[in-house]
Amino acid sequence: MSKKILLSGVKPTGRPHIGNYFGAMKQFVDLFNANDYQCYFFIADYHALNFIQNAAEMNQNILDLAIDYLALGLDPKTAVLYKQSDVSAHTELSWIFDTIVTMPYLMRAHAYKDAEAKNKEINVGTFNYPVLMAADILLYDTDVVPVGADQKQHVEYARDIAEKFNFIFCGATKDGKNADKAIFKLPEPLILESVATVPGTDGRKMSKSYNNTIPLFATREEITKAVMSIVTDSGGPEAGGIPANVYAMHKLLKSEAELTSLYDTNKGKYKALKEALIEDMDAFIKPLREKRVEIAKDSQAVIEILRDGAERANEVASKKLSAVKKVIGVL
Ligand code: TYM
């Protein structure tokens, strides 16, 4: 029996942080290692183009993210590791979906509404973001998409778009009529509740745009600086002498039992608790950081891996695109 398909992507918009890792990338690694899935991991460079308009920066970010993936232990011989722009079926399918997706539907997307609320001038790429993402996912018959909570709606959009396409062009209904004729499989998001939204140093969602991150491959100095900057508000859950933001981050690294004794003995001692967090964070990051340095020494090999991944991804994606073209009547 063939394996189920797992797919996910990350935007090359700068160094990934521990929110990306615990919220999504750790699940990539764990599920890859479990060996139950055929895995596709990609670099969402066309999505990143909405944010980065500088060729040198984009190039560097793509290479860096490929190195990051490899440093996490994803074996490119088994997993398919590629960049989105190398598989033109993504953008082609996105256009086909554009013709069946309505504007009011896309206007309900959180990312669009947020941008609009901030009075941002929204480009079409941002507006269409969920459509390209649906194409990313649906081209590979994906079963599961490990992501953080902020991407849940996007996976739901992919499901909706798949259902709509299956109905319009294949006559497949939600209640199972003509199910065998459906072109697209409905994907499921995989979101771990405990890490669905990893908080940053200020207690808000960890995000590059909030400047509250701890980079996943941070140096010890960077870890120290970030942890020392964690806001230790004394209100709310901190009333018992537990700095909530420090504790929340510590919980990513240690069990509650381990933390209970540490936080009991250091009640109210915020500096000592932060120092303990620095130690634990560095112990976790150090091996990743060292592996990353090794991989980064041979960038040509990394470029080769992406090239090979693109070839394998194209094989699958182009077959699906041909099937789509046939049912829409252009082939
Ligand atoms: P991106 O690059 O913004 O984030 C990569 C992954 O990290 C998760 N994440 C978080 N999880 C928990 N807590 C946080 N503070 C946190 N910050 C980020 C994100 O949920 C994401 O899973 N649109 C996607 C990229 C993409 C994609 C796809 C993903 C494009 N096409 C198809 C899956 C399938 C994005 O912007 O991720």
* Structural domains in the chain plus CATH codes: 4-196+299-328 (3.40.50.620), 208-293 (1.10.240.10)
Whether 6 lines ligand 1, by a CB cut-off of 6 Å, is no
- Closest-CA residue, ligand 1 atom 34, reads 8
Taking alpha carbons only, the member of 233, 302, 248, 266 closest to residue 69 is 302
Among 151, 188, 245, the mutation site with the greatest number of ligand 1 atoms within 8 A of its Cβ is 151
pTM of the model: 0.96
Q: Which of 315, 319, 331, 329 is nearest to 86 (CA)?
A: 315
Q: Please write the tens of the pLDDT for every residue from 140-172.
A: 999 999 999 999 999 999 999 999 999 999 999
% of the chain beyond a pLDDT of 90: 89
Mean pLDDT of the chain: 95
- Cα angle 148, 150, 155; round to 5: 80
Nearest to 139 by CA among 320, 330, 6: 320
Pocket test for ligand 1, best of 7, 20, 25 (most atoms within 8 A of CB): 20
Range 301-327 average pLDDT: 98
Residue 198 Cβ inside 6 Å of ligand 1? The answer reads yes
Label residues 50-82 b or e (16+ Cβ within 10 Å = b). Answer: bbbeeeeebeebbbbbbbbbbbbebebeebbbb
pLDDT recorded at residue 69: 98
> Nearest 5°: CA angle at 133, between 128 and 161?
80
Phi and psi of 290, rounded to 5°? -70, -40
- Residue 148 Cα to ligand 1 midpoint, Å, equals 6
Helices (H), 254-330: 256-265, 270-296, 299-328
Element (H, E) at 41: strand 37-43
Average pLDDT over residues 174-198: 96
pLDDT attached to residue 238: 54
Cα of 74 vs its chain's centroid, Å: 15
In ligand 1, which atom is closest to the CA atom of 151?
A: 20
76 touches ligand 1 (CB under 6 Å): no
The protein residue with its alpha carbon nearest to ligand 1, atom 5, reads 10
Is the CB of 8 inside a 6 Å radius of any atom of ligand 1?
yes
Q: Is the pLDDT of residue 236 over 70?
A: no
